[in-house]
């Protein structure tokens, strides 16, 4: 479960409200020997800004082709930097931990000691008990990150409504080598893992340890009668409850002993602040974040020519750079008198499925689909065990690379596919022939009664030669801080014109309201073009929600979320947050790199840099020779007993305040 219906969010109160929208327009075109001119984006404001603010990006993509061939991820300026940074962090942590004979513990996302902050969002559910925590080496006898490589059938959903992300993970696993590119570096012995994700049009790295939430209680927590079931034998209990990974609270791999699925889910949860932040979403968001791809969402009822859709889109599900997912609409359960999950021929509403393959065999068109639960399959025609699978069709199973059985994977005929599914989500990962550049800026959002208008911000771009072009207009990813991000949820669209012409060249296509991004794919002649964005607003919360809700919030968690919101919004050019520099620093912590630059490389006494810093402490170091008995003890500990061993010394540190 966990697939979010954007329309239902508007009816029941959106889960993703924001009143300071962030937008981006991304313009993509195939690489050429000629440069692409990008005139400066021009904000145009009418009247006084009232209410909310928005961030916007006009972008043109630009990779390094050699790296693109190697990486198979969307190549941007930040990709190589993120990869190098991730490898450096993992390498440094690995070296330090091995030197100190300890496993890595991530104090920024410590499931054992900081479980509430890692598990819950701003509004913890008191009915939910936080599970225990184990390292992967305590769960599996011989854990391995990959066993025979990652596969789509490995992914099994746990007790979290992130089917949209896990279906994206399963779809990405059909593209050889892609999962390995996201999982950049690791030391499985030390327990440190590094990943990269594409957030807000740039690559970021995430480092985690190997602690995971574990559902079975500890032996000591069992009731007396429960312990008696295991003959009061703790070793027997541990042996029976560990070893296969089925006790993992959240996602797991179907392959026993394999750990990549729960660990990449954990890294994605850390990226967004906590596990509960992953509850509900659309599959294309996960695919974009994993690959940097470009999404297009189509409603099956909008397809004009099903023959063209098969030939031009769905049949490319077999290509490693085209990934698909599907979902059913949210069914109204009021008439039934309950709100339980609705099953239609074995399929679940409000749930995301990944498309694995689409092939034509013996004159019929088939689509292979997977439920991230690893069970509960389609029961209609061509389902596993259905009457259609007569002996003359058995050879088709091999062509489809499908095995009959209750594993969550099933086959549908194309006609049933179109009749059954509501949203078809298609994400394309541009190859090295495409270039990209991204630009964020603020765009004002007007009060609720203000007309839905254009022209307050425009984006210009110039093509030096005819090109296939994709324009993407995006909101800032607010999943981390959605609980505090305002009273409105926004819906975007845009129209494209060529400079000097009055007829539009194209416009964004959208199937649903309030999506994170909208796109337009078209072939353009050389020339200068103008993108006109537009924002629509839907109220999702009442005025004063922050003051009312914050009474129940944990202020330490709130500080973390406020910091991330400020950092995310700060990527915009010409950002105007109405905060002073001193106020901004309240929510944006100074990085260690910046501190080192200020204190060690280019020392400064500017109090505005660190307005709350205590007086600096000067340390005076004195060394004294140890008494012979103490010296011999130290030498024995270090193992140095040669005559030329440097003299052991006791280091005494004294300090005084320098004002």
Which residues does the annotation mark as catalytic? 163, 351, 371
d(CA 415, CA 613): 67
Nearest to 252 by CA among 169, 311, 330: 169
Q: What is the CA radius of gyration of the chain?
A: 28
d(CA 67, CA 63): 8
d(CA 511, CA 532): 19
Strands (DSSP E) along 288-349, which ranges?
294-299, 322-327, 343-344, 347-348
Q: Which residue has the tokens 């692409």?
A: 36
Q: What's the Cα-to-Cα distance from 22 to each of 45, 55, 449, 483, rounded to whole Å?
A: 16, 3, 20, 16
Asked if residues 422 and 303 have their Cβ atoms less than 8 Å apart, the reply is no
3-class SS of residue 266: helix
3-state secondary structure 219-230: HHHCCHHHHHHC
d(CA 619, CA 229): 61
| DSSP letter for each residue of 501-559 | -SSEEEE-B-SSSS-SEEEEEEEE-SEEEEEEEEEEEEE-S-TTHHHHHHTTS-HHHHH
d(CA 415, CA 513): 27
d(CA 209, CA 186): 10
d(CA 84, CA 641): 41
- Residue 601 has what DSSP assignment? I
Q: What's the Cα-to-Cα distance from 475 to each of 53, 334, 486, 490, 607, rounded to whole Å?
A: 12, 33, 14, 8, 36
455, two tokens:
């022209």
Backbone angles phi, psi at 126, to 5 degrees: -65, -20
Q: Biggest alpha carbon distance in the chain?
A: 92
Edge-to-edge strands, sheet with 192-199: 183-187, 192-199, 202-208
Strands (DSSP E) along 42-172, which ranges?
42-43, 55-56, 58-59, 132-135, 155-156
Asked if residues 424 and 298 have their Cβ atoms less than 8 Å apart, the reply is yes
d(CA 138, CA 546): 42
């Amino acid at each position: 479960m966990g697939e979010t219906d954007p329309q239902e969010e508007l009816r029941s109160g959106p889960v993703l409200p924001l009143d300071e929208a962030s937008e981006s327009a991304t313009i993509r075109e195939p690489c050429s020997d000629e440069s692409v001119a990008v005139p400066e984006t021009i904000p145009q404001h009418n009247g006084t800004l009232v209410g909310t603010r928005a961030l916007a990006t006009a972008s043109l993509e630009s990779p390094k082709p050699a790296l693109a061939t190697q990486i198979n991820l969307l190549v941007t300026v930040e990709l190589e930097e993120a990869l190098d940074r991730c490898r450096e962090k993992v390498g440094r942590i690995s070296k330090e931990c091995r030197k100190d004979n300890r496993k890595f513990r991530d104090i920024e996302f410590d499931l054992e000691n900081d479980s509430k902050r890692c598990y819950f969002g701003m509004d913890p559910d008191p009915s939910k008990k936080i599970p225990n925590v184990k390292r992967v080496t305590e769960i599996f006898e011989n854990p391995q990150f990959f066993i025979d490589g990652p596969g789509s059938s490995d992914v099994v959903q746990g007790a979290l409504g992130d089917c949209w992300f896990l279906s994206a993970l399963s779809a990405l696993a059909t593209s050889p080598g892609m999962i390995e590119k996201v999982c950049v570096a690791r030391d499985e012995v030390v327990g440190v893992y590094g990943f990269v994700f594409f957030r807000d049009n740039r690559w970021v790295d995430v480092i985690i340890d190997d602690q995971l939430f574990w559902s079975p209680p500890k032996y000591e927590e069992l009731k007396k009668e429960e312990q008696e079931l295991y003959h009061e034998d703790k070793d027997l209990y541990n042996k029976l409850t560990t070893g296969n990974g089925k006790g993992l609270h959240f996602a797991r791999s179907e392959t026993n002993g394999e750990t990549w699925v729960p660990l990449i889910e954990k890294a994605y949860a850390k990226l967004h602040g906590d596990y509960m932040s992953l509850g509900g979403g659309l599959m294309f968001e996960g695919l974009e974040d994993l690959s940097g791809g470009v999404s297009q969402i189509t409603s099956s009822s909008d397809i004009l020519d099903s023959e063209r859709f098969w030939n031009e889109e769905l049949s490319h599900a077999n290509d490693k750079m085209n990934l698909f997912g599907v979902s059913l609409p949210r069914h109204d359960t009021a008439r039934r008198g309950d709100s339980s999950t609705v099953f239609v021929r074995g399929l679940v509403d409000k749930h995301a499925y990944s498309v694995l393959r689409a092939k034509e065999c013996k004159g019929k068109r088939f689509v292979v689909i997977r439920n991230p639960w690893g069970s509960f399959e389609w029961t209609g025609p061509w389902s596993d065990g259905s009457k259609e699978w007569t002996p003359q069709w058995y050879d088709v199973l091999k062509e489809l690379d499908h095995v009959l059985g209750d594993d969550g994977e099933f086959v549908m005929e194309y006609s049933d596919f179109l009749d059954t599914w509501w949203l078809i989500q298609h994400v394309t990962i541009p190859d090295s022939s495409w270039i990209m550049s991204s630009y964020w800026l603020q765009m004002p959002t007007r009060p609720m009664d203000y007309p839905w208008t254009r022209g307050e911000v425009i984006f210009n771009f110039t093509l030096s030669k005819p090109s296939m072009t994709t324009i993407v207009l995006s909101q800032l990813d607010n999943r981390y801080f959605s609980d505090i991000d305002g009273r409105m949820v926004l819906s975007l669209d845009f129209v494209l014109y060529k400079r000097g012409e009055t007829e539009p060249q194209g416009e964004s296509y959208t199937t649903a309201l309030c999506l994170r991004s909208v796109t337009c794919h078209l072939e353009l002649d050389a020339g200068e073009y103008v993108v006109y964005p537009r924002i629509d607003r839907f109220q999702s919360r009442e005025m004063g929600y922050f003051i009312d809700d914050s009474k129940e919030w944990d202020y330490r968690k709130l500080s973390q979320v406020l910091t991330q919101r400020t950092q995310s919004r700060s990527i915009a050019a010409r950002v105007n947050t109405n905060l002073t520099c001193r106020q901004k620093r309240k929510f944006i912590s100074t990085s260690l790199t910046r501190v080192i630059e200020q204190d060690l490389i280019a020392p400064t006494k500017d109090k505005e840099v660190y307005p709350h810093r205590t007086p600096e402490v000067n340390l005076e170091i004195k060394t004294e020779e140890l008494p012979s008995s103490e010296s011999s003890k130290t030498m024995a500990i270090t193992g140095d007993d040669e005559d030329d061993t440097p003299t052991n010394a006791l280091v005494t540190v004294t300090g005084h305040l320098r004002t």
